[in-house]
């Protein structure tokens, strides 16, 4: 489990678990700490547990097990309105019958502040988000971007030390969303507030965060700064989820320190850096970013392995050239190059050789196939195992009804299985 140093932690999850039905854990033994002033993003697909963690921190959900600490104090039994936490929602949650100024004054009235102090704080918060002239309008008279600014100002008006944001930019168009990313990041750093931000948008996470916690299946898969997360993924899920990524599968042929040779399923050999593989004969899924692939052999190290490739498609994207290649059985292998004056435009149908620096290609875990298949048949229904065993299953030696209930969780196997069944 990813965990940061908790010595000076401002927010801390200690062995936190959450179950809604008493059986299935949606958050599994979460250990996470963050210092004051950090901008931390919880990133992951739907159902990964990230929003549940945010709601437990806000007090809208209770932890099934474990402690949540805020500035050294346990807050599990403190109601939401007494935690002193600002909250920004995706749907803004502004009161339609109140003016902008009244919306901002509401959390101050709940805290029983005097009128003159309320007015001063409301003015300061509106000026922070460049909405000082809109205090007398109602939410319906504002654009989506303006409403989002007001929602942000309301979360900041009582000067909380911690602000939680639950996909606050999801309803905005692309250009406004990108502008608000920089606005929120600037405000957070200028004010020195601690932010926990939830999103499934990788660009938001990489652009805005000091650190990113990537969630899947109720666990943090990796917790790291954005550049480390992108360039040094620790497992196959993170590599696939963050940014664009090429994968090839094979077996570790040899390992020598921080370099290994991988024999691909196609029979080709490539160089890679071993990450969570430890010995020869182990299956691996190698990860290489499109911008790190080279087809100029002069840029490769002497003796580097290369692969033959066929250019399937060229896409002009303005600042970059994007090529789709057929490589070692992968027909969707992507290469990106900068649109520079000396850039080469590869034409579809041409044959080339590609390679990369070993440190740019990471040999990661190859996710195991579903154990239920092994339980029912003693085999896995995918290309990694003998097709003759599959044939025996279909011939009726095991019950064919059982066969219909078994599946492999790896999407890459479904296409191959379909070919066998056809």
- pLDDT, tens digit (0-9, with 9 covering 90-100), for 71-90: 999 999 999 989 989 998 88
Chain centroid offset of residue 100 CA: 34
Percent of the chain with pLDDT strictly greater than 90: 59
Tens of pLDDT, residue by residue over 149-166, are: 898 899 988 889 899 999
Kindly list the domain boundaries of the chain, sorted by start residue: 9-231, 246-365, 371-421
- pLDDT at 17 > cutoff 60: yes
- The mean pLDDT of 377-393, rounded to a whole number, is 38
Q: Are 398 and 376 in contact (CB under 8 A)?
A: yes
- pLDDT at 422 > cutoff 90: no
Task: Give the pTM.
Answer: 0.79
Q: What is the mean pLDDT of the chain?
A: 84
State whether the Cα torsion 39-40-45-50 is positive or negative: negative
Q: Say yes or no: domain 9-231 is CATH 3.40.50.300.
A: yes
Tens of pLDDT, residue by residue over 339-365, are: 988 888 899 999 999 999 888 999 998
How crowded is residue 411: how many other Cβ atoms within 10 Å of its Cβ?
7
Write phi, then psi, for 143 (nearest 5 degrees). -75, 170
Residues forming beta bridges with residue 248, ordered by sequence position: 286
């Amino acid at each position: 489990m990813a965990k940061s140093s908790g010595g000076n932690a401002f927010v801390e999850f200690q062995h936190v678990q959450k179950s809604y039905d008493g059986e299935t854990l949606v958050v599994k033994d979460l250990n996470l700490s963050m210092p004051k002033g950090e901008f931390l993003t919880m990133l992951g697909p739907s159902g990964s547990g990230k929003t549940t963690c945010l709601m437990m921190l806000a007090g809208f959900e209770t932890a099934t097990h474990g402690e949540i600490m805020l500035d050294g104090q346990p807050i599990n039994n403190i109601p939401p309105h007494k935690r002193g936490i600002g909250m920004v929602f995706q749907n803004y949650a502004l009161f339609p019958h109140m003016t902008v100024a009244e919306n901002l004054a509401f959390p101050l009235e709940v805290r029983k502040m005097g009128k003159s102090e309320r007015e001063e704080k409301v003015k300061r918060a509106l000026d922070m988000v460049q909405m000082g002239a809109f205090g007398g309008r109602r939410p319906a008279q504002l654009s989506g971007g303006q409403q989002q600014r007001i929602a942000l100002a309301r979360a900041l008006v009582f000067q909380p030390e911690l602000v939680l944001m639950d996909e606050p930019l999801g309803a905005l168009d692309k250009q406004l969303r990108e502008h608000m990313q920089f606005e929120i990041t600037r405000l957070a750093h200028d004010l020195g507030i601690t932010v926990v931000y939830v999103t499934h948008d990788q660009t938001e996470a990489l652009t805005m965060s000091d650190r990113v916690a990537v969630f899947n299946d109720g666990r943090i898969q990796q917790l790291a700064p954005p550049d480390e997360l992108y360039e040094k993924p620790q497992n196959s899920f993170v590599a696939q989820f963050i940014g664009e990524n090429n994968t090839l599968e094979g077996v570790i042929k040899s390992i020598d320190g921080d370099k290994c040779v991988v024999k691909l399923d196609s029979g080709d050999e490539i160089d890679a850096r071993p990450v969570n593989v430890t010995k020869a004969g182990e299956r691996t899924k190698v990860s290489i970013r499109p911008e790190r692939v080279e087809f100029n052999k002069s840029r490769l190290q002497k003796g580097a392995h290369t692969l033959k490739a066929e250019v399937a498609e060229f896409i002009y994207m303005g600042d970059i050239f994007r090529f789709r290649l057929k490589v070692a059985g992968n027909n969707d292998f992507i290469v990106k190059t900068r649109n520079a004056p000396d850039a080469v435009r590869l034409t579809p149908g041409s044959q080339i050789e590609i390679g990369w620096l070993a440190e740019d290609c990471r040999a990661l875990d190859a996710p195991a196939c579903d154990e239920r298949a092994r339980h029912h048949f003693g085999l896995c229904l995918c290309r990694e195992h003998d097709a003759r065993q599959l044939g025996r299953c279909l011939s009726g030696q095991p019950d064919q009804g059982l066969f219909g209930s078994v599946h492999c969780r790896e999407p890459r196997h479904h296409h191959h299985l379909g070919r066998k069944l056809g």
